Structure 1
């Protein structure tokens, strides 16, 4: 036995930025981690609306959004990587028939914990005709960490972590998601100073 601890996996967790993290994109951000392995991590910032409603995004790609429940929803800044590309975080669409359990869409990552992240246009086409996943969050861009990078940032007290709560992603106003995510840890933003961990 080498004594090494098993690698921890933050898939389906929130990363909550500590006050000392003053990067423009990540300051006061809540990141939903879609994938975390020894090769690195991929996530979507869920609380930074871009200056664009979903209707405008659909217009840009020659679709009309037919879902009344989504008309007022903003597109989010998902992170600094591939900011021209759309990423759709959504609940799985349950299908019957022989392919039950498979995603309906061409390019979907199944996230353990009950969500999917789709990058193919077909999910937007489904929304444009009034169907598609019931609850969605659409981002432009994503956040990525290389091998060991997220672990280093955690060691530097840049992030707090907690298992993700779907209600915060889909049902909580964007400007309340940071405080709600902290609340999962029993914290409020005034309790965490910029000096935490820097004795």
Structure 2
């Protein structure tokens, strides 16, 4: 893969077993934006200790009763931990502060979606995360050259249909790879 000409947008970024950075060890990150300013993604397999109900209470958003209140909020990455990032199926044009990542996946950072979810009028499939992952221009490319990460095409089914604990292995499986069989020692031929 030629990184200089191919976008990393709508890619899964899988931490290789030897990556020991506590922010990223064992993570699956969905890359949402990739341009001359750098790369932005959301970690999608690190559940936090609280639910949307707790987030709604903290933000003083009234929520209707329902199972949406028990949806887990994710730790989306070490950057902007006080901001919400919502990955969802659907069209970015339906929400403020949204970007279309792929045909069927968008990223929204606006409160209008949280209010809609609280009122049970939001998208059917979504992941709410606090924080994101970001890389300066060229930084992620350098890390990829060092075999820190493995990439695979993004897929809505892995994001929204797989339980959090199975997303990393499902993304690796899309490449025919079992990360559990890989050594923790990095090497180059």
Q: Normalised by the size of structure 1, how large is the TM-score?
A: 0.88
Q: Is the partner of 2:173 in helix, strand or coil? A: helix
Partner of 1:42: 40
The ranges of structure 1 where at least 4 consecutive aligned residues each deviate by more than 3 angstroms after the TM superposition are 64-69, 196-199
Worse-matched range after superposition: 172-181 or 39-48: 172-181
CA change 1:185–1:196 in 2 (3 A) is farther
- Which consecutive residues of structure 1, in runs of 5 or more, have no partner in the other structure? 94-101
111, 136, 143: which one aligns with 2:126: 136
Q: What is the aligned-residue RMSD (CA, Å)?
A: 1.8
Partners in 1 of 2:70 and 2:171 — Cα distance?
Answer: 23
TM-score, structure 2 length as denominator? 0.92
Change (3 A) 1:124 1:197: same
1:117 maps to 107
**How big is the shift at 1:5?**
8.0
Contact 1:41 1:144 in 2 (8 A): yes
Q: How far apart, CA to CA, are the structure 2 residues paired with 1:134 and 1:122? A: 15
SS in 1 for 2:100: strand
Change (3 A) 1:140 1:170: same
Structure 2 unaligned regions, length at least 5: none
Structure showing greater radius of gyration is 1
Cα deviation 1:115-138 (Å, max 9, x = unaligned): 111111000111111111111100
| Residue 10 of structure 2 is aligned to residue 16 of structure 1 | no
